Structure 1
């Protein structure tokens, strides 16, 4: 039985990852910030852990909760959005909110989870966004969010060198019908996660440190 870790799993894409990996027979460990989210995970049969990746004290204690588990797949889904463009500066509060969740959270969990994925020879996937693809940038819309995802991509690529027995991937879920993506998005969470799971299973060691779309295709540049 494979063991999977989903970080940031109380709704949307994260919750759908839990649902699909559980349906496939995996043992799933998943995190949420509050009691309501934890109950959703427990109802799906996951081992639910309380974690707020934006809180350094909470994120710093993750390894104690994981207690040495080894993970065939780990997925960092936690993320927050910001829509303003470059004609207005972000406030410090907004900057901290977005960067803490999208970048600092990932950088805090990597040293704790990376060795556990390595021990299983597994895959560590970080949900990024096409909006963080520098070569594909066509507007400043969501510039703080864009910057945070570009920073996440760099963190993933850099960290991949320190965990050579794991496969590190920055992966866009596509444009998905979630609270963040809105109702006009072309993909449902079910479609996006199904495609990502198929792609994750195909990744090989040579793919580590790359930026991928939800179907596994590689972005042109960063």
Structure 2
């Protein structure tokens, strides 16, 4: 049986997607950063791996933990928010925290999981944001926007490395999670339903695109 891999499932969208796919009867492999986050997901029926996606040493063992499993869908959900406006220089610690979680973790995990997903004829999707697009740039969340734009480039570049792999980015909308905050406009359940629906529609020719949870699509390749 093919599995769904959710990288960053401790809380928020990752946790909600894990629960939703398990409710469908899917086999889910979920990663969490802290050991104390493992038991709740295991109780739901997920296979849980402890991987700190912001830590290169931890990510380096991902393929070994997966042990050649057949993966139909891999979602890189992990990410952190930084709301500092443009003109407020991030500290090195802030920069490293955001870029390691939002970009480096994906770039280190992808070469490990891509062969498994490609062999299964599956899909890999990295969680980006509409805020990553140059056409929507403003002064808010400077570092976060930069990190998601870099993630888009990582997706687009990797499409050239693995031409037989359906690789894309997803925009869950401004979702009502701890990271989204109290002003978020998209209910968590609505985002999850939309993302899952989008992922059932994705075709190989959609590789290198950014899909929003409501089904709208922006091309990253050649954009």
Deviations 1:37-71 (A, max 9, x none): 11121121100000001110000110000000111
Q: Indicate the residue corresponding to 1:63 in structure 2.
A: 63
Unaligned runs of 5+ in 2: none
Q: Indicate the residue corresponding to 2:113 in structure 1.
A: 113
- Alignment of 1:165 with 2:164, yes or no, is yes
Unaligned runs of 5+ in 1: none
CA contact (8 A) 1:74 1:124 kept: yes
Q: Indicate the residue corresponding to 2:7 in structure 1.
A: 7
**Across the two proteins, how many residue pairs are aligned to each other?**
221
Q: Indicate the residue corresponding to 1:184 in structure 2.
A: 183
Q: Indicate the residue corresponding to 2:39 in structure 1.
A: 39
Q: Indicate the residue corresponding to 1:200 in structure 2.
A: 199
Cα distance between partner residues in 2 of 1:93 and 1:58? 19
How far residue 220 of structure 1 moved from its aligned partner, in angstroms, is: 6.7
Q: What do you get for the CA RMSD once the two structures are aligned?
A: 1.3
How far residue 111 of structure 1 moved from its aligned partner, in angstroms, is: 0.1
CA contact (8 A) 2:2 2:70 kept: no
Cα distance between partner residues in 2 of 1:64 and 1:91? 34
| SS of structure 2 residue aligned to 1:161 | helix
| SS of structure 2 residue aligned to 1:72 | strand
- Alignment of 1:213 with 2:212, yes or no, is yes
CA contact (8 A) 2:132 2:146 kept: yes
Cα distance between partner residues in 1 of 2:162 and 2:214? 24
CA contact (8 A) 1:200 1:216 kept: no
Change (3 A) 1:163 1:185: same
Q: Indicate the residue corresponding to 2:149 in structure 1.
A: 150
CA contact (8 A) 1:126 1:171 kept: yes
TM-score scaled to structure 2, two decimals? Answer: 0.95
Cα distance between partner residues in 2 of 1:129 and 1:157? 15
Q: Which runs of 4+ in 1 moved over 6 A?
A: none
Cα distance between partner residues in 2 of 1:220 and 1:106? 20
